[in-house]
Structure 1
C-alpha cells in the first residue's frame, strides 16, 4: 500500500497534538473582574482561609490567570462583603461583574455560577429551634434535599450537577461533624445532640471520585472516621488506623488521595516515630498515579522531620522539667519517677487547647490509680496571663496536675521539645524516656488505647 506523504504528515501532527493534550497542556483559566462600585474585592480557593485582594494591573485591569488541573471552586467576596462560590474548569473564561445592583456572571459557566449564587445552602436555625436538635436536623436535612432537587432539575451539565450535589452533602456533613465543637469553643455553649445524630455515618460511602474536588473534602472525611471511632462504628487502633480508614473507602482515587493527604497531615502535626509503619501499612492501598507520585515528596519530608527531631525521638531521655502549681509549689520530673507521664502543653489564649481540657480531665480520672500521671503544663507568662491561668485552674478537681512552666515558650523545656504551637501532648515512659513527643489529642480515642497498652508493658 502506498501512503500519501501529506496525509501521513497530517496524521503525525494530529497524533502529537493529541499527546500534548494528554500531558496536561491545557490553556490557562482566566477570571476577569469588572466593577463600577467603590470598595475592595477578594478572590481565592474556597477551602483557603484568609482573603486575597484582587488588585488592578498597570492598565487598571483586574484579571487572574490560573493553572487548573481539574474543575474546582473559588470564592468571590464582593465590595459589600457578600460571599459567592465560583465554579471554574481548566481553560475556562469567566467574568464577574459587580455594580450597584449586585453581582452577575458572564462567560463560561455563567449559568452554573448564577445557580450557585441563588441557591447557597447554609444550615441555620429558626426562632425557637435549638441548633443541632432533632427539629434542626429535620429542617436542615429537608433543606439540603430541596436544593439538590432544584439542582437535578436545573438542566445544567451532568458532571457539574454530580459534583455540586456532593458539595451540598459534604458541606452539610462537615457542619454536622464540626458545628457542635465550634459552638463549644467559640460560643462556650455545649449542645445536647439527639441519640441518632450520627446515624448518617453508618451508611456514608466514599464511592465517587468527584469527592476530591469538593472544598474541605479531606477534613470532612477525616472528621467522619474519627467520629466513627468514637461512636463504636469503626475499630480503634493507634497503630493501624490509616489502613482501617483506607479499607473503608471504596473508590480507588478517593482512597489513594485521602491516604496521601492523611500522611501529609500527620507530618504537618509533627514528627512521628510511627510514620514508617504508617507508610508501610497503606502503601499497597495507594494505587492512583496522582497519589503515588506524591509519595517520594512525603518520604523526603519525613526524613527532614526525623533529622530536626533527633533529640526527642522515641527512646531518648526526656528533658527534665520544673514547674509550679497555683500555690507556688514546685514540681519536677523526679516527682513522677516510675510512672508514665502525659504532659499537656497549652496556654490560656489557645481555644483548641481549652476544648481538649475536658477530655484530658476525663482520661485522667478514668485511669486514676494506675501507674500514670497527667500533667497540664501551662506556657503562660507575665502577671496578667499567669493570673488568668490561676483563675482558670484554681477550682479544678480530679487526677490531673495543673502546673505552669516558668518562661513559657522561651523556656528550656519548650525549646527542647521544639514546641512552637499548642496543644501539644508528650508521653514519657516509666524509665523517663520519650514514647511520643507529638502524641494524639485526648479527644482522640486512640490516645487512651495507646496509654493503656503502654501501662501494661
Structure 2
C-alpha cells in the first residue's frame, strides 16, 4: 500500500472517530450516577467477547481512550503507576478504546506495552452513547455491585485520583497522595446601596447561593446600605417584594442602585455588569408561549439566547464574567425548555433532540454552583422527565420520585437546594398532610440553618391541618339565607369543596361531585360546597342554573376560613370525620378514582 493511500485511510478513520467523540453527543439511555451499568459487550486483544459484569465484586476504573488521542497517551504512564499501586487489591483497570479500526487499537496497545484489561468497542457505540462520552480521555468508576459511582473521575495524573481510590471501602488505605495545603482566601468588605421610591413599602432582601436570603433594612429615606465580605465575584438576587432582579457583587467594586418604575439603574465601579444584567430585553419567553408546539418554541428559545448573547457582547465586560454569564444564559435556556414540557402536562410530542438536551441538563456540574439557574434547571428537568413518562396524576408521588432522584447527586449543596425548593413548592399548593416520606427526606438531607428554620416554621403552621386535629370551624349562609355551621353536621362525615363559579378546574369537577353525591345518597356523609365568589348574586344564579346538590354555602367577604386551611388555590377538597376532626385536609378531587376508594373504606358510613 502506498504511503499516500495509507495516509488517506488514517485521516478517514480519524475524522470518523473525532466526529463521534468531539461532535454533539447522541444521548439515548443517559446512564447516571447510581444507575446499574448496562450489559455492554466488548472485544479483548484475543478477539474474545467480554463484559464488565465479569468484575462483579470489584471496583472497575474505566479509561475511555483512542490511539490517535495525544492527551490519552499522556495519561498511560500515570495509569500504569496506579495499576501497580493497587495490584492485588479489590479493583480492576479496564481500558476501552473508541477506535474505529481494530488494527490501530491493537497496535497502540502492543507498542505502548499497555497493561490491565484492554478492550475495544467495535462497531457498537452504545457504550459511548450511554455514558455521553463527548471528549476523551474519560474516566469512569463502577462500584462493586456494578453500579455507576462516578461518571467523570479525575485523571490518573491528578494526585486526587489515588486519594479517592484509597478511600473506597474494601481498599487498603496505604500512603495517600499528598494533600495540597488549603488556600487561605482573603475576604474584602465592600459596600452596596439600594434606593427605593419613597412611597414603595415592599420588603427588600438580597439572596446569594451560599449565604441565603438577607433582609435589607431601609432607612427614613427608603434606602438600604449594607456591606458584604467577599472573596470573589458572585451572582445575587435582589428581591423587591415578589419581584427578583439578578445582580453581581464583587469585592472592591461597590455599586449604588436605584429603582424607577420597576427597573434598576446602577452607578459606581460595579455598575457596568449590573446595568447589563438588568437591561430591558424584548425576546424573553412569555407565559402564553409555553402553549407553542415544539419547533416554534425552540425558535423562540434561540431568539432569547441570541438577544442575550448580543447584549453581552455589546457590553464589552470582563472576560471571566463573560464566560460565566454565557453559562448562566445556557442554564436559563435549559430551564425554559424543561418548563415548556411541564406546562404541556406530558401531552406534547417531544422530539429525541429535546429529550437528549434535557438528559444533559440533569448531569451534575459542580463548577456551575453559584449560578441560580443551574439547580433550577436541574429541578425543572427532573419534573419534566416524569411528565414525559406520563406521571402527572398524583402530585405527591411525583414529588417523591423527584426527591429520590435528587438524593443521588454528590454535591450536598445541590441536594439541599433541590430538596428544599421542591418540597416548599409542593407545600405551598398541597400542604403537608400525609407527607411523612417527604418530611423524612427533608430532615435527612437538609441541614443549612436558614432552610431548616423556614421549613420548621411552615411545618408548625401546617400541623393544625394534620389528621386527627380539630377541623377549622365555619358558619356560612346557604342559598336561602340560613346559617350552617360545621358543628351542625357533627356525627356525619363531611366532604368539603372550596370553589368559585369563575374557576374552570372547579367547574370541571362538578359532574364528578354530583356522581359522588348520588353514590352516597342517604348514607352518613354530607357534601358541602363553599363558594369564595366575591359576588353572592353570581353564585346564586350559578347554583340555580346548574341545579347543584349537596349543601351550598357562600363565605361572603370573610376569607378567614381559606386562610386558616392555608388554601392557596382552588378547587380544594377536605374530609372531616364524625367527631369534627380532619381525616384529610387535602383530599383528592372527585374525578380522582382514589376519592371513591377512600370514602368506601370509611367505617360507619
TM superposition score normalised by structure 1: 0.59
Q: Return the alpha-carbon distance in structure 1 between the equivalents of residues 348 and 455 of structure 2.
A: 43
**Structure 1 match to 2:564:** 418
Contact 1:72 / 1:89 at 8 angstroms: preserved in 2? yes
Deviation at 1:117, TM superposition (A): 1.9
Instruction: Report the Cα distance in structure 2 between the residues aligned to 1:360 and 1:342, rounded to whole angstroms.
Output: 14
Structure 2: distance between partners of 1:318 and 1:98: 45
Q: Which residue of 2 aligns with 1:305?
A: 461
Contact 1:379 1:404 in 2 (8 A): no
Cα 1:314/1:130, change in 2 over 3 Å: closer
| Bigger-Rg structure (1/2) | 2
- The reply to whether residue 376 of structure 1 matches residue 506 of structure 2 is no
Matches within 5 A, 1:285-296: 286=445, 291-294=447-450, 296=452
Displacement after TM superposition at 1:394 (Å): 4.0
Count of residue pairs brought into register by the alignment: 386
Equivalent positions of 1:27-426 (< 5 A) are 27-31=189-193, 64-65=225-226, 67=228, 70-74=234-238, 86-91=246-251, 92-95=253-256, 107-108=269-270, 110-111=272-273, 113-114=275-276, 117=279, 121-123=283-285, 132-134=291-293, 136-147=296-307, 150=310, 155=319, 157=321, 158-170=323-335, 174=339, 195-196=349-350, 203=358, 205-206=361-362, 207-208=364-365, 210=368, 213-214=371-372, 232-234=389-391, 241-249=398-406, 251=409, 252=411, 253-265=413-425, 272-284=432-444, 286=445, 291-294=447-450, 296-297=452-453, 300-301=456-457, 304-305=460-461, 309=464, 313-316=466-469, 318=471, 326=479, 341-346=494-499, 354=503, 356-361=505-510, 364=513, 370-371=519-520, 375-379=528-532, 385-396=535-546, 401=550, 403-405=552-554, 409=558, 414=561, 418-419=564-565, 423=569, 425-426=572-573
Question: How far off is 1:137 after superposition?
Answer: 1.9
Match of 2:184 in 1: 18
CA distance in 2, matches of 1:449, 1:152: 52
Q: CA deviation at 1:397?
A: 6.7
Structure number with greater CO (CA < 8 Å, separation at least 6) is 1
Give the drift of 1:30.
Answer: 1.4
How far apart in 1 are the matches of 2:469 and 2:425? 25
- Alpha-carbon distance change, 140 to 199 in structure 1, aligned in 2, over 3 angstroms: same
Distance 1:261 1:141, change over 3 A: closer
Q: What CA distance in whole angstroms lies between the structure 1 residues aligned with 2:219 and 2:469?
A: 55
CA drift at 1:56: 8.8
Q: For residues 162-182 of structure 1, give each alpha carbon's deviation from its aligned partner in whole angstroms, at most 9, with x where no partner exists.
A: 12332344356557756x99x
Within 2, Cα distance between the matches of 1:365 and 1:407? Answer: 24
Alpha carbon RMSD of aligned pairs, Å?
5.8
- Cα 1:95–1:221 shift into 2, 3 Å: same
Q: Which runs of 5+ in 1 are unaligned?
A: 1-14, 77-82, 182-192
Contact 2:432 2:459 in 1 (8 A): no
Pair 1:403–1:34, CA change in 2 (3 A): closer
Residue deviations 1:355-401 (CA, integer Å, cap 9, x gap): 542453365378676558764311457xxx21132244443478x75
The answer to whether the 8 Å contact 2:588/2:594 transfers is no
Q: Are residues 265 and 230 of structure 1, via their aligned partners in 2, closer, same or farther at CA, if it must alter by over 3 Å?
A: closer
Q: Over residues 415-436 of structure 1, what are the superposed CA-to-partner deviations in whole Å (9 max), with x where a residue is unaligned?
A: 9x93475546342267565222
Corresponding residue for residue 451 of structure 1: 595
Structure 1 counterpart SS, 2:498: strand
TM-score (norm 2): 0.47
1:434 to 582, 586, 589: 582
> Residue 121 of structure 1 contacts residue 144 of structure 1 at CA under 8 Å; is this kept in 2?
yes
SS in 1 for 2:468: coil
Q: Tell me, what secondary structure is at the counterpart of 1:87?
A: strand
From the superposition, tell whether residues 305 and 75 of structure 1 become closer, same or farther in structure 2 (CA, over 3 Å). closer
CA distance in 2, matches of 1:325, 1:199: 55
CA contact (8 A) 2:375 2:414 kept: no
* Contact 1:30–1:66 (CA under 8 A) maintained in structure 2: yes
Deviations 1:114-165 (A, max 9, x none): 365275642369xxx9883337424413313434654787755222321233
Indicate the SS of the match to 1:107. coil
Distance 1:278-1:177 versus aligned 2 partners, 3 A rule = closer
**Contact 1:55–1:62 (CA<8 Å) still a contact in 2?**
yes
Q: CA 1:423 to 1:355, structure 2 compared with 1: closer, same or farther past 3 Å?
A: same
Q: Give the Cα separation in 2 of the matches to 1:165 and 1:328.
A: 58
Q: Match of 1:272, SS?
A: coil
Structure 2 unaligned blocks of 5 or more? 1-180, 208-214
Residue 449 of structure 1: how far off its partner (Å)? 6.5
Alpha carbons 2:495, 2:528 under 8 Å: kept? yes
The aligned counterpart of 1:79 is: none
Cα distance in 1 for residues equivalent to 2:420 and 2:373 = 17
Q: Distance in 1 between matches of 2:259 and 2:438?
A: 49
In structure 2, how many angstroms separate the alpha carbons of the residues matched to 1:269 and 1:387? 29
Shift of 1:282: 4.5
Cα distance, 1:246 vs structure 2: 1.7
